[in-house]
Amino acid sequence: MSQPYNPSAPVQAAASPPMPQNFKCNSCGGPMKPSAGLALVVCEYCGAVTTMGAGGAAEVFQKHFMLNNKLTNETAMESGGKWLNKGIFRRKVAERSELGAVTLRYVPYWVVPTSVVADFQGTKNAGAGGGAGMMMHGDGKQKAAGAALFALTMAAAAAGGQNRNVQVNQPQVVRVRDRIQLQRNIPVVAVRGYAQYQPEDGFTFELSNKMNFDKRQTGGVDVQSGDISEAEAKAQAAALAHKFAEREAKKRVDNLESIQVYPTTYDGELLHAPVWFMEYAHKGKQMFILIDGGSGQVMNGERPAFALW
């Protein structure tokens, strides 16, 4: 097995050969004059993507796919509004927010197949009272249930009378050593200045709907080039894989003591995805929502934690 991934180590940008500043597209022969620093360039005539090959020559990247946009401006705003209002502590957030710019772009993503093996150890509460303890370490619903269970226990003790001794069994601590194995197709945005376009943990594109890239299918929407190479995307995918494994480990224990993560990345593909970027303001604070135009799912975004009035 390879060396464990070090989450504290910075992601090193893999140096790729510089892109020529003036050349012809290898697919259609159209002139190309890319800006300095780009790692992948979209031909404005045919849509083919040119990257720098291992031999240092510009070549067309073959594994280039796209997703069709299925949303209109109205349906994109509807999806964003539903996401804003989701949750019992958010009331009419969308209706009380001021909508800003709504932009559709075809954004390039490296989709990196990644396998993860992670060995971890920690402790878990068990026995009488352990259920409430474990719930307090879970998600919001589990924490609420744990708090309710604890309150009922205390109420029952009080109902027994002040003169009656009530014994509350302490939870037993069980040591856990386990292994996690995951397989993910991790999307990494290929534009360095588009940090907000990086999907949240767990989001994946519906790759079963992908098709070979065809510029005619974009409907004239802006198709972005990128400045992150596939090698750098693999390094970022390894960093994300560590986060996924750690999150999964925390579901299995109440106290995670240590974890060793061994990610393996493989050659992936380039996907141009239709992405709706929505800006809005809520009580003077500027926020954003990112929506996948192929599925209507929210990929990333900001919203108030509480908005009851």
- pLDDT tens, residue order, the chain (309 aa): 555 656 555 555 555 567 777 888 888 999 988 887 788 899 989 999 988 765 667 788 889 999 999 999 999 999 988 888 887 767 778 888 888 999 999 999 999 999 999 999 999 987 654 544 444 444 444 444 444 444 555 555 555 555 555 566 677 889 999 999 999 999 999 998 888 899 877 789 999 999 999 999 999 999 999 999 999 999 999 999 999 999 999 999 999 999 999 999 999 999 999 999 999 998 888 989 999 999 999 999 888 875 554
Please answer whether residues 246 and 261 qualify as being in contact, where contact means their C-beta atoms are separated by less than 8 angstroms: yes
Backbone angles phi, psi at 277, to 5 degrees: -110, 115
Put simply, whether the predicted model's pTM sits higher than 0.85 gets the answer: no
Residue 93 to residues 74, 100, 125, 296: CA-CA distances in angstroms? 17, 15, 39, 19
